[in-house]
């Protein structure tokens, strides 16, 4: 399989991308080919420090770069030579099987939608993100693509998340929970209460009911459904809280118990362990990473992409999304 | 000052309430009188183990008890002899200056609204909750009273939170942030984008703009404004994440660095340090505690109540809430 990796996405690009790609190639041992997409001289200057291109690692020149100031929807038209557009065009043309980028989330989403298209029937794409829990991680969907959601959109997210969890997380029947402010049916806003009703009757889902903020971390379900506003706030809050607490303990451990090794505990709380977040509901594999991604996070995002390609998740999503959960019903 | 304490609120009532009250009396040394409200024989049986009633500690008999099954709005009518209704009626009649309860949040809110009334002009009451941050705690408002909010409601919350932070947290000009999914104006849902516009023009507020989920913990503002759905999810999530991480470290420390004392670090992350959450926007001091409150949490909630009474926060709220931020404008 071939994966296009945007080499210009992180704040420190292209270094984390190149180191992450090299690590992935070592770990996955010939299983994948990676195409670094971006400004060739810049990539080559860094890559030559680490042995240059190789059998499984090539460069695709894309001289332009998307910035945070570029309006996401206009990137495809105004920056056709940017690494995001070139990489996704490669995926559109089937030159690669997946695209991974730590660039502008909005631009990746808008360009993915344009090039990879929504799934047949028109599911509304959503971002799925893994959150660490006491047991196995759980998938939060939507983590920021859709701000104002109708019940039908949330039901789409439930299906997209469930299919992804089944295909890539090895769960036969993922437990799907609806994020709410109480457990009882009827709780929450009108939209959420109506979503509960519809999810209760929806087939093809293992719906376990409403879950509260406190339930996420204790592994009460595998897929948490919410709108992109709540999901985005929650995700960013989690990352910062985990980082805050880890830094607190790291500092105190250094002075009070300098010999104790806690790296494995810190690792549980390290967001980058989970790599990138898939954009679900489009006709391809598009993985969104943090702008601050480390080489390890890039390596793990490439692993996420490879798992998604290998599982045929996109084909299954197109096949298994019930028509009732598609966009024409929702509008 | 006199504070009515619902003695039947916690899951283990009346023990945590009584121990918390005794601790408060010891710490505040004659500064407050506490009235334990609830079933007198039950309270007396426990209280007699600790020296019985005293000059500053009395009992008001209220034989009935509100349960989680009681519809909140009907409690005032159906359970007039419950500890929540009796305690709030005492506050309504000026027999006490504040009410503290760890009972049903919905019942406390509904009964407070009925007995203490919304502030003149009709501000919509909201729950303010302190979240630990890297520096001083920040007030999250609304933490769950209002699910569907219009921009005018969110502006009320900004004022209520700002006045509370000024009066009880010792901040001359509290920084008020709007919780959003990006920093730029125009981000978020229509309601949030409109709220941003209105807050930018609002006088009497130190509005610092949009803040993201990741900004809360790093002390970018003193008051975080959001609707009650997002606030409730965030609060419950925070509590569970902090508890999860603390338990993780506590377990590992016990085996790897048994001699290291980390209790002060754990304390930073201990929600109960911050005591109860005030219901803001009503004509009295009504403090809502967790059902799982420890004696320490009850003691701290009594301290929150005393601080609110002493600061004349309610009078200031009635005086300083601009008419434009009141309910008639919002509806």
Is the residue at A326 inside a domain?
Answer: no
Nearest-neighbour CA in chain A from B217: distance (Å): 6
Q: How does pLDDT run across B163-217, given as a tens digit for each residue?
A: 999 999 999 999 999 999 999 998 999 999 999 999 999 999 999 999 999 999 8
CA–CA gap between residue A1 and residue A314 (Å, rounded): 15
Is the residue at A320 inside a domain?
Answer: no
Secondary structure class of B84 (helix, strand, coil): helix
- Choose from A212, A234, A237 for mutation: most chain B CBs within 10 A: A237
Measured at the CA of B180, the angle between CA A227 and CA A220, to 5 degrees, comes to 40
Do A14 and A130 sit in the same domain of this protein?
A: no
Do A151 and A256 sit in the same domain of this protein?
A: yes
Do A28 and A63 sit in the same domain of this protein?
A: yes
pLDDT score of B327 more than 50: no
* Domain count across chain A: 2
Q: Which domain holds residue A114?
A: 1-122+281-313
Do A50 and A173 sit in the same domain of this protein?
A: no
Taking the Cβ of residue B263 and every Cβ of chain A, the question of whether any pair is shorter than 8 Å is answered with no
Is the residue at B157 inside a domain?
Answer: yes
- Confidence band for A325, pLDDT divided at 50, 70 and 90: low
Do B183 and B310 sit in the same domain of this protein?
A: no
Do A153 and A130 sit in the same domain of this protein?
A: yes
- Smallest Cβ–Cβ distance between B248 and the set A216, A235, A265 belongs to A265
pLDDT score of A100 more than 50: yes
Taking the Cβ of residue B161 and every Cβ of chain A, the question of whether any pair is shorter than 8 Å is answered with no
Do B119 and B184 sit in the same domain of this protein?
A: no
Question: With a threshold of 0.80, does the pTM exceed it?
Answer: yes
Do A150 and A236 sit in the same domain of this protein?
A: yes
| Contacts A269 to B, Cβ<8 Å | 245, 248
Q: What is the pLDDT of residue A327?
A: 47
Is the residue at B84 inside a domain?
Answer: yes
For residues B103-130, one letter each, b for 16 or more C-beta atoms within 10 angstroms of the residue's C-beta and e for the rest, the string is bbbbbbbbbbbbbbebbebbbbbbbbbb
Is the residue at A200 inside a domain?
Answer: yes
Of A223, A242, A272, the one marking the end of a domain is A272
Q: What is the pLDDT of residue B190?
A: 93
Of A239, A272, A305, the one marking the end of a domain is A272
Interface of B with A in 175-234 (CB under 8 A): 179, 181, 188-190, 192, 212-218, 226, 228-230, 232-234
- Confidence band for B23, pLDDT divided at 50, 70 and 90: very high
The arithmetic mean of pLDDT across residues A91-111, rounded, is 97
- Three-class secondary structure assignment of chain A: CEEEEECCCCCCCCHHHHHHHHHHHHHHCCCCEEEEEECHHHHHHHHHHHCCCECCEEEEECCECCCCCCCHHHHHHHCCCEHHHHHHHHHHCCCCCEEEECCCHHHHHHHHHHHHCECCCCCCCEEEEEECCCCCCEEEECCCCCCCCCHHHHHHHHHHHHHHHHHHCCCCCCEEEEECCCCCCCCCCHHHHHHHHHHHHCCCCEEEEEECHHHHHHCCCCEEECCHHHHHHHHHHHHHHHHHHHHHHHHHHHHHCCCCCCHHHHHHCCHHHHCCEEEECECCEEEECCCCCCHHHHHHHHHHHHHHHHHCHHHHHHHHCCHHHCHHHHC
CA–CA gap between residue B18 and residue B14 (Å, rounded): 6
Q: What is the pLDDT of residue A324?
A: 60
Q: How does pLDDT run across A52-64, given as a tens digit for each residue?
A: 999 999 999 999 9
Do A131 and A261 sit in the same domain of this protein?
A: yes
DSSP category for residue B70: S
For residues A163-197, one letter each, b for 16 or more C-beta atoms within 10 angstroms of the residue's C-beta and e for the rest, the string is bbbbbbbebeebbbbbbbbeeeeebbbebbbebbe
Do A133 and A171 sit in the same domain of this protein?
A: yes
Give the domain CATH number at A79: 3.40.718.10
- Smallest Cβ–Cβ distance between A148 and the set B148, B189, B240 belongs to B189
Number of other CB atoms surrounding residue B55 within 10 Å? 8
Do B6 and B67 sit in the same domain of this protein?
A: yes
Which helix (DSSP H) or strand (DSSP E) does residue B198 occupy? helix B190-201
Is the residue at B68 inside a domain?
Answer: yes
Is the residue at B99 inside a domain?
Answer: yes
Is the residue at A136 inside a domain?
Answer: yes
Do B154 and B234 sit in the same domain of this protein?
A: yes
pLDDT score of A273 more than 80: no
């Amino acid at each position: 399989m071939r994966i296009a990796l945007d080499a210009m996405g992180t704040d420190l690009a292209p270094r984390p991308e190149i180191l992450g790609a090299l690590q992935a190639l070592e770990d996955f041992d010939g299983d994948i080919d990676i195409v670094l997409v971006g400004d060739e001289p810049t990539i080559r200057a860094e890559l030559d420090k680490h042995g240059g291109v190789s059998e499984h690692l090539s460069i695709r020149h894309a001289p332009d770069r998307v910035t945070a100031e570029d309006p996401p929807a206009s990137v495809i038209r105004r920056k056709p030579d940017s690494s995001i557009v070139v990489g996704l065009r490669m995926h559109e043309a089937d030159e690669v099987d997946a695209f991974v980028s730590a660039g502008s989330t909005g631009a990746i989403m808008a360009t993915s939608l344009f090039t990879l298209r929504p799934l047949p029937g028109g599911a509304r794409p959503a971002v799925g993100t893994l959150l660490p829990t006491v047991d196995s991680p759980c998938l939060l969907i939507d983590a920021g693509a859709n701000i104002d959601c109708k019940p039908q959109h949330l039901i789409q997210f439930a299906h997209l998340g469930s299919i992804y969890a089944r295909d890539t997380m090895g769960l036969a029947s993922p437990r799907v929970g609806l994020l709410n402010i109480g457990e009882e049916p009827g709780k929450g806003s009108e939209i959420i209460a109506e979503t509960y009703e519809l999810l209760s009757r929806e087939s093809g889902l293992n719906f376990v009911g409403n879950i509260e903020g406190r339930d996420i971390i204790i592994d009460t379900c595998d897929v948490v459904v919410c709108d992109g506003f709540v999901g985005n706030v929650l995700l960013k809050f989690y990352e910062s809280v985990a980082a805050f607490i880890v830094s607190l303990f790291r500092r105190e451990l250094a002075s009070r118990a300098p010999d104790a090794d806690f790296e494995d505990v810190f690792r549980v709380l390290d967001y980058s362990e989970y790599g990138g977040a898939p954009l679900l509901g489009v006709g391809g594999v598009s993985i969104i990473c943090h702008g601050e991604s480390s080489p390890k996070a890039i390596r793990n995002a490439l692993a996420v992409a490879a798992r998604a390609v290998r599982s045929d998740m996109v084909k299954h999503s197109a096949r298994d999304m019930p028509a009732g959960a598609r966009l024409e019903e929702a509008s």
